[in-house]
Structure 1
């Protein structure tokens, strides 16, 4: 996008409002075959994955990429990939900026407002509507093949899209599994959570809490005063209210039902927001939502889980259960990194449905990049099969493309992976609004207040009214 831009997007949403929303959140077409062939011919032996854009320039180019700082082995994989890209395109230099994960949106805001942003920035599918409304990202389907785009599962592709365009490319996909310490359940003389590989057969909310109470009582009776029934949340900054999008929304949105009439409170509980993305009253404060948060609150009021963050509680063998991603499965399978106990995996507890969010880290190409084709080609190269499979093996997250899951035999043969795939296939995006920055920034402290004893029947309506006020600027 060049020249003077309009302050208001085609959807009528103020770009300034979108950037303002990001600031508050900081506290936390296919090209013709001939063109495809010429682009790949220019690349020599390099595999540009799904890139289907124009031939890359031979002029000197510097591409800037802002992302989170991974572990040393993952950082090394990316650095190796840049070297391979440079070998095929010696005129293109990649300059990285690695920042702490929690600072990514803040940095993005500063860069976009300065009109001098990196060509590629790590975003999230949660904010695809904001990227669109704020004219912050390029439509990636203009640079990627139809086959590559359609390889992203439909629900995840939808989460990364807005207004019919793909604005960020899912880097991985999120699932929330219920991990359990098999030894601790045996010590209490109780059956472990159900080890199923589909959405059927797991515990309900009532069963989950009752089982944790039983286990907690038996452990205490045996003199174990150090262990907890459920480990403290490790997402975000840890503890209650740290990550509504991926974790705590389970307790509300699982009480909803996608098959219920759209006018019903049951349907609205799952949707989380009105169709126009501008109101949450009657969606997050329904009787079903209040019920779900009472279940959540009981985990704390019954002393089943800590009231604050406790690092490494589950891997350290001090908790019987934990909500975590597939990376724990991959980590626990590595020789030398096994936990000091036998473990297993079960679905998260069921309300009316088994709910999982599909929020994913997802790089975007800045709308004002001076080198959009080169940036898209680099992103496509980093997302080719070889580089993605190496990343998932090292980092342990779940692939965001169907073909990659099929290439990893464990997704067809091993229970944790089969369950993760089933959960991912049935997962949902965050409530759709360009103001989701404001939405989750209001929900996180509300969840924490409920965990600490505030009445959900009072907190949720108050929070809904607050979010409605915050969303006014997106009209």
Structure 2
């Protein structure tokens, strides 16, 4: 289970480049598999009915908690012993496939990085013959309905042919969704803005001026040093002001690269440029660490980023006097004034039962116990301040979160800010084999974000700049999709188009 922040920039349903194994890495992984095999074999059973399950992943920082959970589980299921293990992520990626080849796979394993892109986890593990379905005989009738935002564990993300194969992990977009406006309460107090947060663009500009004049600080600190850091601003501020925004910049209206020239996007990016022109943004080229430090240190008032900042600010920067709010809308206060909302797909798959396990029933019992909405695991995971689990109701989360955990402030904002969005890979599963988006990326690395960065810092004619980039993208995009369609893949620009979706209402998935 990778950290939420490290995952946020992954595209939902976008093919990604496969990881290449070096021979030294394979050799090291083989040695690790041998070591693991000697120290802890897969599921075992004894003559007296005792069963041992090996549960393997790569969240090393949570192993202590997992061991507590295993001990608690054993109180209810005294014949089952769960042994959690965690490797470093890169080591785990190498060791897992080798453990299957050596017939020594763990009974329960995490798999979160399919080469074809998000939402192809199950495709990968079934293609490798790694996964067994959960044992339906030990699942309650309402099991599918306990997982938030999954459309009852919809196929093909979580199951196939009526069988459930996996349970989801916390959203890759952070503690409770990606995209909030954080602020330093002291800076706003000096500017006379306490209790008067800006909710529209005009109000935000006025607030920036007050912050400059009365608090002697910059209005915003926001990194533009790399594509994923620019995207923190775009996916937070721009997304709510553009209908159906997608980080890939493929428009849900057209199914092509037309998003950055869309009038709503143009208006939003031009407004952001105006803040640079008026010197309301902390000057310079700096990374996210410097941007966050500027806000924590009172050099800037606002910062746009994901839900993880509710723990990053107090833990990393020892900064607690911050607030969190909705990003401003163009003319009318949020959420009614939003043209769109920040898109999220269903939570991604994570935990699977090995096809080599001799105890799929007992492994299913553990997964059922783990995912009880009111169970020990859900409560104590939340109390630890980890990511919010997909099977924990918001009211329970508010009850269980530590009193000083600012995540509780995000809970009421989440449904106002985020929306369940369409995922092209679910509409067109053959995108797992498509190279169209990869080919577009190869035109020029970071072409879109570098152009946006240039405009924000230096200005220019954005509609013209956007169309120039889009023409290059669409030429390659459409040609590659056409080539793949001629070769038999069921892919086209229609896979990416959902023109009827309004961007503010949860997308209705069909099974």
TM-score (norm 2): 0.58
Q: CA deviation at 1:181?
A: 0.9
- Residue equivalent to 1:304: 281
Which string of whole-angstrom CA distances, capped at 9 and with x for unpartnered residues, describes residues 329-387 of structure 1?
467789x99626x3322112336435224365652316745354444433333333322
Instruction: Note the C-alpha offset of 1:89.
Output: 5.4
Superposition pairs for residues 65-214 of structure 1, below 5 Å? 65-70=56-61, 74-85=62-73, 88=77, 92-100=81-89, 108=93, 111=96, 115-116=100-101, 119-121=108-110, 123=112, 129-136=119-126, 144-153=139-148, 156-158=149-151, 161-163=154-156, 165-166=158-159, 168-173=166-171, 174-175=176-177, 176-190=179-193, 194=197, 203-204=199-200, 206-207=201-202, 210-211=205-206, 213-214=208-209
Q: Equivalent residue for 2:459?
A: none
Residues 307 and 451 in structure 1, CA contact (< 8 A), matched pair in contact too: no
SS of the aligned residue for 1:452 comes to: helix
2:196 and 2:14 map into 1 onto residues whose CA distance is: 44
Could you tell me which residue of structure 2 aligns to residue 339 of structure 1?
A: 319
The SS at the match of 2:454 is: coil
Asked if the contact 2:220/2:281 (under 8 Å) is kept, the reply is yes
* C-alpha deviation, 1:285, in angstroms: 5.2
Q: Which has the higher contact order (CA 8 A, sep 6+)?
A: 1
Q: Quick one: distance in 1 between partners of 2:453 and 2:378?
A: 41
In structure 2, the partner of 1:37 is none
Does the residue aligned with 1:400 lie in a helix, a strand or coil?
coil
Aligned to 2:36: none
For structure 2, the 5+ residue unaligned runs are 1-12, 22-47, 160-164, 331-337, 456-464, 491-511
Distance across 2 between alignment mates of 1:467 and 1:163: 26
Report the Cα offset of residue 449 of structure 1.
0.8
* CA displacement at 1:179 relative to structure 2: 1.5
Q: 1:463 to 1:132 in 2, by over 3 A?
A: farther
Please state how far the C-alpha of 1:129 moved relative to its aligned partner.
Answer: 3.0
Q: Counterpart of 1:281?
A: 257
Cα deviation digits, residues 383-407 of structure 1 (max 9, x gap): 3332222222222533423536346
- Of 356, 365, 368, which aligns to 2:352? 365
**Secondary structure, counterpart of 1:390 in structure 2:** helix
Mapped contact 2:222–2:303 kept (Cα < 8 A):
yes
Paired residues of 2:183 and 2:302 also in contact (CA < 8 A): yes
Alignment of 1:449 with 2:457, yes or no, is no
Of 449, 454, 459, 2:469 maps to 459
3-state SS of 1:254 partner:
helix
SS at match of 1:21: coil
Q: How many residues align?
A: 388
For residues 140 and 215 of structure 1, what CA distance do their matches in structure 2 show?
Answer: 58
User: Whole-Å Cα distance in 2 between the matches of residues 239 and 459 of structure 1?
Assistant: 20
3-state DSSP of counterpart to 1:147? coil
Partners of 2:266 and 2:19 in 1: CA distance = 26
* Equivalent residue for 1:386, pick from 351, 376, 379: 376
Show the counterpart of 1:348.
Answer: 327
Q: Deviations over 1:257-295 (max 9, x none)?
A: 4xxxxxxxxx687997588x9954345653434444444
**Please, what is the CA RMSD of the aligned residues?**
5.1
1:62-113, Cα deviation, whole Å (9 max, x unpaired): 424213343xxx442222113334564566452422435xx59xx6588459
- Counterpart of 2:462? none
Q: 1:132 to 1:410 in 2, by over 3 A?
A: closer
Q: Report what 1:242 is aligned to.
A: 228
